[in-house]
Amino acid sequence: MPLIKETDYGTPAIASEKTISLMIDGMTMEVPEGTSIMRAAALAGITVPKLCATDSLNAFGSCRLCLVEIEGRAGTPASCTTPVAPGMVVATETERLKKLRRGIMELYVSDFPRDILTAPANGNCEFHDMAGAVGLREVRYGYDGATHLNAKKDESNPYFTFDASRCIVCSRCVRACEDIQGTYALTIAGRGFASQVATGGTDFFASECVSCGACVQACPTGALIEKSVIAAGQPEHSVITTCAYCGVGCNFKAEMRGEEVVRMVPYKDGKANHGHSCVKGRFAWGYAMHRERILKPMLREKITDPWREVSWEEAIGRVASEFKRIQARYGRFSVGGITSSRCTNEETYLVQQLVRAGFGNNNVDTCARVCHSPTGYGLKATFGTSAGTQDFDSIDHADVMLVIGANPTDAHPVFASAMKRRLRAGAKLIVVDPRRIDLVRTPHVAATYHLALQPGTNVAIVNALAHVVVTENLVNEAFVRDHCEWDAFQDWASFIARPENSPEAVAKVAGVPAALIRDAARLYATGGNAAIYYGLGVTEHSQGTTTVIAIANLAMATGNIGRPGVGVNPLRGQNNVQGSCDMGSFPHELPDYRHISDPAVRRIYEDIWGVKLDAEPGLRIPNMIDAAMDGSFKGLYIQGEDIIQSDPDTQHMIAGISAMECVVVQDLFLNETANYAHIFLPGSSFLEKDGTFTNAERRVNRVRRVMRPKNGYADWEITQLIAQALGYPMHYAHPSEIMDEIARTTPSFAGISYDLLDRVGSVQWPCDANAPLGTPVMHIGGFARGRGHFMITEYVPTEEKSGPRFPLLLTTGRILSQYNVGAQTRHTENSLWHEEDRLEIHPHDAEQRGIRDGDWVKLESRSGATALRALITDRVATGVVYTTFHHPDTQANVVTTEFSDWATNCPEYKVTAVQVSRSNGPTEWQETYRQHAEQSRRVLAAE
Amino acid sequence: MPPEKLTMMANQISRFFAHLGPEHAPEEIADHLRKFWDPRMRRDIIAYVAAGGGGLDPLAAAAVARLAAETRVP
């Protein structure tokens, strides 16, 4: 595919039903009212020269290159800032305009480097293009006098350079930072000749810049340019694919030279990201080429042995012989597999097929176990579908956002930018979170209410919000009567109206003033379209499922379901959490969330796979570990997950996995789990395979191979080799064939094919005969289950309580530059922003313990202890501490406990009673763990 | 599986369905265990109760009794 260059219409599209007729360069046209002359011309195929305009930004009118003449009007107005008018007659090319443009361009060029052969932007530079477009043939001004040619380069950012000598101060970067990203890190400092792009008195790296890349993308001159382009040269072809980081699912153009990625550029037609990106997707893809990546299969007899590189044939043969041996000795149910939310739909589908059909049991689970499994249970029980209700664009119609237990600016940055745009346009924000997340107060955005609750009291708070709705007659009774089970609603309303659910009662347990809860509830119920967005701060609790149900109750009671601007929206952590759940990765469900005990559903797969399926649910990940401890579970195939780092109570996890006789890890790197593995199968990156990811809005996006797998096989091929070696026939020639089988067997995917995705870009399931192009907003006119089901949500305090020994509550989360266990981002320059996990502690709690900022502190719970450095901040309340879990050196999960959600066993990461004390450095356990990891990663030299 | 963990998990499930009362809650709890617990987990908690193990709240105990009755060989 050649290099894809999207058309730039100069100014944004205008949504207006009224059209205006005008003539440009002799062509008559009709465009929506409010459209600029520049855009109208571009729509007709006429390119008006421009520099400061681009259609992702509102018109600015500074460069004066886009001048036009309009009959009956004096002067030469800028076409970017002049809207069309009825009967207008416009000329874009006249002798006067040509002369003016050449003069303007000549002035620009007079203060611009003329290194025409060596400039890194050569071949892809709007500035050079415009010099050509206006016919500039000479520059009459010399370099005598003051210029900006010797301006200093800012190379502080690891991913891009700012060369001020090439800056024409068009403000596109500043406006992109403000209007698209919403960070306001850039400004134009100085006046007149001294005007320059500035980052607040420091360099790019030390500034507020979040490295989203919007400024680089907006720059027309190459002043801001990717270092990878400087190093590799301009790309020559591009492939549209989907980011492998968070659940937003941004589309990118992988811009290539041969099989080398030159850069990843966000795709303007990407329906989830609309041309925007974050530091991870835009820049942090170098892990795929990192020198520590393992490219050859490896074996060892015992986990204390060094690794030995072997052929694929030997490695796959060993997997098969070991799993056969274990099943022969310990029984059919003694082995299992884990699918990955980082892999494609097709790959997760194959792993669950391998387990169910090849292993002959249902011991398959996925990393969604430890994040959004409560969402699956809670939304299915209430709405009938285990998924969020809206598309991302729904946010543009929201009047109120209720953000509970999510930190979008760090974990879902591109969607956070869309949220911030809507908030700047006047929508109101309620944040429910123990921490003061960035959204609470960020440039030009402030939450109306921040309910800084005690960790573990989500159910109490959401019940209290609903209490206000019910007792203050704010229920949308018409909606409830039309769409929900009335009897169940009445039972729920009676329950929720009880005094123990009142804000006044809840204030005592949650630590949030009753008046604040009441005000927030009134705003949610009466503020117009109200949308709920939630994350792992909701699900990762012993009552995670109950909170999801409580949220669904609240949305139904207020009628905030079934139209744009409202809904219940789980923000999925990893790129394919939704998809891995959809594809039957849970031990009790086949694809499309159909229970394994249903004989009719089993028969669909039995007919295709040619085997009898077991009707009983299998083990979930924590159950696998417990079963390993009691000796009934001995073999595990793990594709793309690092359970030793990501799962709770590390020492228990290590004990369990060490008790197994064959652990197979398939990953890009020797991760923490591989330290306890017997077979390592090198995995492939998202750049090396075809497939699909399904994002948090149920959008099925294509992943396209841009290079051959560096390890030799795509992950789906490796699973297939294992199946064949076990004697189970699995012979797909291409992932499109897997998707075709998914479509044949999965009702909500019935209409999806690679052909459709290639034609329309992406679709949101359900995609079937009733919705051939997918379903952006669900439950319009009725719920998937028929009528919405209210459920009683009694608040039950967690067993994990603070006390004299462990007086603080720890909650964990993410940071912008890192991702999950860090396997990908730690192998990129992103670590420059976050080299280590830090413990956030309130100044009061720090002072009581004699802790200063940057001190090493010991973080201890009843499960274990680790040490890390302290970050003193009032972002956390007194009594609460917070850390991330991105770095294995910290291994934050050595502290978290075995408590989990009642319905799904999703771990209670968000509440751990801890003590914090000053320390001299890493704990003895950390030192031992580090030494073990180093020993475990030894690889024998090839013979 | 450790009986104390299974007991804790069953009691958690029981708390969610407790509002249904002794007439309906045991069946809902038992249904949850059937749908989400691997057979060895169900076997272990049945065996634990049969051996006189305590700690289950009354609704969870009633649910386990139902499971035990289903798995009894006729």
Inter-chain CB proximity B1 and A363 less than 8 Å: no
Report the alpha-carbon angle A131-A136-A140, nearest 5. Answer: 120
- Per-residue pLDDT, A116: 77
Q: How far is B25 from chain A (nearest CA, A)?
A: 13
- Per-residue pLDDT, A80: 98
- Considering the domain boundaries, does residue B40 fall inside one? yes
- Contact between A726 and A320 (Cβ < 8 Å): yes
In degrees rounded to 5, what are phi and psi of residue A868?
Answer: -155, 175
Tokens of residue A35, six digits: 């459209």
Chain A neighbors of B35, CB-CB under 8 A: 588, 595, 597, 617
Tokens of residue A765, six digits: 């399931």
Chain B, nearest residue to A362 by Cα: B38
- Considering the domain boundaries, does residue B54 fall inside one? yes
pTM: 0.96
Inter-chain CB proximity B40 and A363 less than 8 Å: no
Q: Which of A333, A902, A905, A906 to mutate to test the interface with B (most CBs of B within 10 A)?
A: A902
pLDDT tens profile A602-639 = 999 999 999 999 999 999 999 999 999 999 999 999 99
- Considering the domain boundaries, does residue B74 fall inside one? no
Inter-chain CB proximity A903 and B16 less than 8 Å: yes
Inter-chain CB proximity A902 and B41 less than 8 Å: no
pLDDT at B74 over 50: no
Specify the DSSP class assigned to residue A893. Answer: G
Chain A neighbors of B33, CB-CB under 8 A: none
Cα R_g (chain A), whole angstroms: 29
Three-state SS at B61? helix
pLDDT tens profile A230-273 = 999 999 999 999 999 999 999 999 999 999 999 999 999 999 99
Cis upstream peptide for A766 (omega within 30°): yes
Domains: count for chain B: 1
Inter-chain CB proximity A794 and B18 less than 8 Å: yes
The ipTM assigned to this model is: 0.96
- As a residue count, chain B comes to 74
- As a residue count, chain A comes to 943
Hey, is the C-beta of B15 within 8 angstroms of any chain A C-beta? yes
Dist. CA A602–CA A594, nearest whole Å: 9
Dist. CA A731–CA A926, nearest whole Å: 45
Inter-chain CB proximity A902 and B35 less than 8 Å: no
Chain B neighbors of A595, CB-CB under 8 A: 35
pLDDT tens profile A536-562 = 999 999 999 999 999 999 999 999 999
Chain A, nearest residue to B18 by Cα: A794
Inter-chain CB proximity B37 and A904 less than 8 Å: no
> Which domain does B56 fall in, by range?
3-69
Hey, is the C-beta of B49 within 8 angstroms of any chain A C-beta? no
Inter-chain CB proximity B16 and A546 less than 8 Å: yes
pLDDT tens profile A506-541 = 999 999 999 999 999 999 999 999 999 999 999 999
pLDDT tens profile A663-677 = 999 999 999 999 999
β partners of residue A442: A445
Report the alpha-carbon angle B60-B61-B64, nearest 5. Answer: 85
Hey, is the C-beta of B13 within 8 angstroms of any chain A C-beta? yes
Cβ-nearest to A588 among B2, B36, B40: B36
- Considering the domain boundaries, does residue B9 fall inside one? yes
Three-state secondary structure along A537-579?
A: HHHCCCCHHHHHHHHHHHHHHCCCCCCCCCCEEECCCECCHHH
- Considering the domain boundaries, does residue B30 fall inside one? yes
- Per-residue pLDDT, B72: 61
pLDDT tens profile B18-69 = 999 999 999 999 999 999 999 999 999 999 999 999 999 999 999 999 999 9
Dist. CA A2–CA A648, nearest whole Å: 47
Hey, is the C-beta of B72 within 8 angstroms of any chain A C-beta? no
- Per-residue pLDDT, B73: 47
Three-state SS at B5? helix
pLDDT tens profile A419-474 = 999 999 999 999 999 999 999 999 999 999 999 999 999 999 999 999 999 999 99
- Contact between A663 and A709 (Cβ < 8 Å): no
Q: What percentage of residues in chain A have a pLDDT greater than 70? A: 100
CA distances from A669 to A222, A238, A294, A684 (A): 35, 27, 6, 10
Tell me how many residue pairs between chain A and chain B have CB atoms under 8 A apart.
60
The secondary structure element, H or E, covering residue A495 is helix A486-496
- Contact between A916 and A845 (Cβ < 8 Å): yes
Q: How far is B50 from chain A (nearest CA, A)?
A: 19
pLDDT tens profile A778-836 = 999 999 999 999 999 999 999 999 999 999 999 999 999 999 889 999 999 999 999 99
Tokens of residue A819, six digits: 């991702």
- Per-residue pLDDT, A943: 60
Inter-chain CB proximity A903 and B32 less than 8 Å: yes
Q: Where are the beta strands (DSSP E) in A148-257?
A: 153-154, 160-163, 187-189, 196-198, 224-226, 237-242, 251-257
Q: A543-574: string of b/e by CB count within 10 Å (b at 16+)?
A: bbbbbbbbbbbbbbbbbbbbbbbbbbbbbbbb
Three-state SS at A534? strand
Residue A189 CB neighbour total at 10 angstroms:
13
pLDDT at A942 over 80: no
Q: Treating both helix axes as pointing N-terminal to C-terminal, what angle do B39-50 and B21-36 enclose, rounded to 10 degrees?
A: 130
